[in-house]
Amino acid sequence: MFAELFSLFYQFADVFSFLILASAGLAIVFGMMGVINMAHGEFIMCGAYVTVGLVNLGLPLPLAQISAAIVAGLIGVIVERLVVRKFYRRPLDSLLATWGLSLIATQGTLLVVGSSIRGIGTPEGSFAVGAYTFSTYRLILFACALAVLLGLYILFMRTRFGVIARATMQNAGMAQALGARTGRIYAVSFGIGTGLAGLCGALFAPTMTLIPTMGATFIVESFVTVVVGGANVLLGTAPAAMFLALVRMTLNAGYGQIIGQIGMLFAVIVIIRILPEGFSSILIRRGR
């Protein structure tokens, strides 16, 4: 009995951590700047590739993962300066521009690095509960997802940067009039968003095969989580991830992976029908 319950919890935690890690960065970028970053999957790919490259050079895995996240963040800052800066509050144009970037990035990586590189194995082995064995690393990922949520809460709610960032999100003109350097805030926020994407790729790198198009595996889930959640990261993305993980887990357990994927998409369409602004709209309204 306990083993079955734990197994359900494990599956929920697996999907939940995937959704949170994949969509946190996207939610920050969208919530802050109204920019849809279609190259999000490519930053995830960048994080994964850099991690594997560093590990193959001899670095220990956690160090490689953190470095990969930082590298992705720095590339994000450069991209923001060169491309995204022109598209604030223009979600359709930013979507197209970043999609062009995404196409260039995937095919460019295919050209330069080739269609696959040698991956790294999943560390930490497994543990058993009752009749089932589970991979320990996935629970570590769950812990990382919770850590990311906690970190974002502390960053946005308890630091000076967080206050200024939230002010810029609410009313950029006013924040600028009060002395906040909005250009720098945007650059840093985009960097945080892409850094989180890189972290997602770095954390999932030991669990999947690395191909240049691996970003596509993440973007559907991350986009639907952001759409269902709405623009607010903490009040939107986290509950959305919980809801979608529940739906996915139930469908997976009952009917298998494919029905799980399609069912989640159905749930998204239904949710958007009922709540066009996502979860964050009702939660913000309740909170007032």
Partner 1 sequence: MLNLINGSQTIGNGRGFWVAFLVVLAMALAYPMFADSYDVGNFSYFLIWIFMALGLSLIWGYGGMLSFGQTFFFGIAGYSYGVLAIIMGGGTATLLALVLSVLMATLAAAVLGYFMIWGRIGGVFFGIVTLAATLSLAFFLGQTAGPEWQIRGARLNGFNGMKGMDPLTVGNIYIEGTLLYYVMVALILVVYLGLRMLVNSSIGNVIVAMREDPLRAEMLGYDVRKYQLLTFAVGSGLAGLSGALYTSWGQFITPSSIGLPAAAMPIVWVAFSGRSDLTATLVGSFLLLFGFQTITIYSQQAALVLMGALLLATVMVMPQGFVFGISQLVSAQWRRQARPNKPRVSDREARSQMSGSDNVAH
List residues binding partner 1 (CB under 8 A): 36, 83, 86-87, 91-93, 95-97, 99-104, 106-108, 110-111, 213, 216, 219-220, 223-224, 227, 258, 261-262, 265, 268-270, 272-274, 276
Measured distance CA(84)–CA(115) in Å, rounded: 28
Q: Which is nearer to partner 1, 157 or 270 (CB)?
A: 270
Residue linked to tokens 């050209």: 111
Q: Which is nearer to partner 1, 9 or 255 (CB)?
A: 255
Measured distance CA(194)–CA(37) in Å, rounded: 9
CA 99, chain centre distance (Å):
17
Nearest distance from C-beta of residue 43 to partner 1, angstroms? 15
How many other CB atoms are found less than 10 A from the CB of residue 203? 27
Q: How many CA atoms lie within 13 A of 249 on its CB side?
A: 21
Q: Which is nearer to partner 1, 132 or 266 (CB)?
A: 266
Nearest distance from C-beta of residue 217 to partner 1, angstroms? 9
Judge contact between 24 and 148, C-beta under 8 A. Answer: yes
Nearest distance from C-beta of residue 226 to partner 1, angstroms? 8
Q: Which is nearer to partner 1, 207 or 213 (CB)?
A: 213
Measured distance CA(19)–CA(288) in Å, rounded: 27
How many other CB atoms are found less than 10 A from the CB of residue 130? 12
Nearest distance from C-beta of residue 215 to partner 1, angstroms? 9
Nearest distance from C-beta of residue 95 to partner 1, angstroms? 6
Convert 248-258 to b/e letters by CB count within 10 Å (16 or more is b): bbebbeeeeee
Q: Which is nearer to partner 1, 86 or 158 (CB)?
A: 86
Nearest distance from C-beta of residue 7 to partner 1, angstroms? 24
3-state secondary structure (DSSP) of residue 18: helix
CA 61, chain centre distance (Å):
20
Q: Which is nearer to partner 1, 52 or 101 (CB)?
A: 101
Judge contact between 198 and 50, C-beta under 8 A. Answer: yes
CA 156, chain centre distance (Å):
17
Q: Which is nearer to partner 1, 89 or 181 (CB)?
A: 89
Nearest distance from C-beta of residue 35 to partner 1, angstroms? 10
